[in-house]
Amino acid sequence: MNILIPVLTLTGLGLAFGVGLAIAAKKFCVVTDPRIEKIFKKLPGANCGACGMPGCMGFAEGLIRGKCSVQQCVVAKEEARREIAAILGVEEKEKVKATAVLHCNGGKARVKDRFDYRGPQECIAANLVMGGGLKECVYGCIGYGTCSPICPFGAITMSQEALPVVDMEKCKACNKCVLACPKKLFTLVPVKQNVFVACSSHDSGKDTKAACPVGCIACGLCEKACQFDAIHVIDNLAIIDYNKCTSCAECVKVCPMKTIQVRKGRAG
Partner 1 sequence: MDISRIFAIAISMVFINNFILSKFLGLCPFLGVSKESKSALSMGFAVIFVMTSSALITWLIYDFVLLPFNMGYLRTIVFILVIASFVQFIEMVIRKSSPPLYKALGIYLPLITTNCAVLGVTILNVDNFFPGSSALPGSFVYSIFQAFFAGVGFMLALILMSGIRERLELADVPESLQGIPIAFVVASLMSLAFMGFSGFKF
Residues of this chain that interact with partner 1 (CB under 8 A) are 5-6, 9-10, 13-14, 17-18, 20-21, 24-25, 28-30, 54, 120, 122, 124-125
Of 52 and 54, nearer to partner 1 (C-beta) is 54
Give me the least distance between CB of 149 and partner 1, in Å please.
13
Of 40 and 196, nearer to partner 1 (C-beta) is 40
Of 18 and 154, nearer to partner 1 (C-beta) is 18
Give me the least distance between CB of 24 and partner 1, in Å please.
5
Q: Are 178 and 188 in contact (CB under 8 A)?
A: yes
Buried-exposed string 115-149: b where 16+ CB fall within 10 A, e elsewhere: eebeeeeebebbbeeeebbbbbbbbbbbbbbbbbe
Give me the least distance between CB of 129 and partner 1, in Å please.
11
Torsions phi, psi of 164, nearest 5?
A: -70, 140
Residue-wise DSSP of 34-92: HHHHHHHHHS------TTSSSHHHHHHHHHHHTSS-GGG-SSS-HHHHHHHHHHHT---
Give me the least distance between CB of 65 and partner 1, in Å please.
10
Of 18 and 265, nearer to partner 1 (C-beta) is 18
Give me the least distance between CB of 47 and partner 1, in Å please.
15
Q: Are 104 and 163 in contact (CB under 8 A)?
A: yes
Of 105 and 146, nearer to partner 1 (C-beta) is 146
